[in-house]
Amino acid sequence: MIIMKMPKAAFALVFTFTAGFAGLASAVPIQLASHQAVYELSLNELGKNSPIEAVRGRIVLKVEQQCDGVIVNQRMVLEMINVEGHAIISDYHQSTWEDNSGKVMRFDMSNTLNGETVEKYRGVAEHQADKTIVTFSEPARENMELPKGVIFPAEHTRELLKAAAAGKNLLSAKVFDGNGEDGLSDTLAVIGKGQTLLKPGAILRKLSGRTYWPLQISFFDLSQQQTEPDYEIGMKMFDNGVASDLRLNYQDFSLFGNVSDLKLLTSEKCS
């Protein structure tokens, strides 16, 4: 599962869009399923006075569980039609590598609107003794220090799976996802009762018999004192980290994401 979000810069320009993983105390972390999933995005609901009239898009997500860490490549393309009838194309890319201990994450992200780059960040985030430091290689800027207790996306997913398997229904965490200076969020996950996937369609047949949990995660901007989330993401989260039935709720519209293709990939064999 990866946590998809709409970059804040995209909202700022358009209106003036994962799948996360988390560390365990045990020596051997949860192994996530290497897979590639395609989600077709369709408009679910428009907010009141929304400047957008129509939205459609696609998410392509590839997760590779390796012996030393997890590689995640994701791309989200949205076509939005505003009230004047003009099309706005948001094309968001992100690649991350996170070691299995959750101590280090390398990230590379970019976002374009109608072909023009509006955001681009590359760097490394690393947990130190009493803090977490983000070092940017692009663009060149001062290091960013994160609050104590922050975790990374791969950490977050493993913690979600661990909490769900233990029957917990809430998980609160501060997460840095690699989206540059705006990459730090306070999150609250609500985890539903575990269920077994029975009689799935052809696309999800490889997940038949697996346990999944209904999940909703709210994201709050830590730089502001907020009572309402910036956005929310819902899904069915399977015990191997694969997600289906996405629901992306933003301030001006919400989207539903159906899995249109799913490939389970062979993971590295580790000693």
pLDDT tens for 119-135 read 999 999 999 988 899 99
For residue 103, the number of C-alpha atoms closer than 13 Å in the C-beta half-sphere is: 6
Q: Does residue 271 lie in a domain region?
A: no
Quick one: pLDDT at residue 29? Answer: 57
Nearest to 96 by CA among 12, 153, 150: 153
Main-chain phi, psi angles of 156, to 5 degrees: -60, -45
| The pLDDT of residue 21 | 31
Q: How many distinct structural domains can be found in the chain? A: 1
- Identity (one letter) of the amino acid at 159? E
| Residue 2 included in any domain | no
H or E, element range at 98? strand 87-99
Give domain status of residue 204, yes or no.
yes
pLDDT at 50: 87
Element (H, E) at 245: strand 243-249
Query: Quick one: tokens of 75?
Result: 């791309």
Residues of the domain holding 209:
8-23+32-264
pLDDT at residue 129 in the model:
84
- Residue 172 resides in a domain: yes
Q: What pLDDT shows up at residue 47?
A: 86
pLDDT 10s digit of each residue in the chain, 271 long?
444 445 443 333 333 233 333 333 333 457 789 999 999 999 999 988 889 899 999 999 999 999 899 999 999 999 999 999 999 999 999 999 999 888 999 999 999 999 999 999 999 999 998 889 999 999 988 999 998 899 999 889 999 999 999 999 999 999 999 998 888 999 999 999 999 999 999 999 999 999 999 999 999 987 776 778 989 999 999 999 999 999 999 988 999 999 999 999 987 788 7
For residue range 183-196, list pLDDT tens digits in order.
899 999 999 999 99
What is the pLDDT, as a whole number, of residue 99? 92
Q: Would you call the peptide bond into 200 cis, given omega within 30 degrees of 0 as the criterion?
A: no
CA–CA gap between residue 23 and residue 69 (Å, rounded): 11
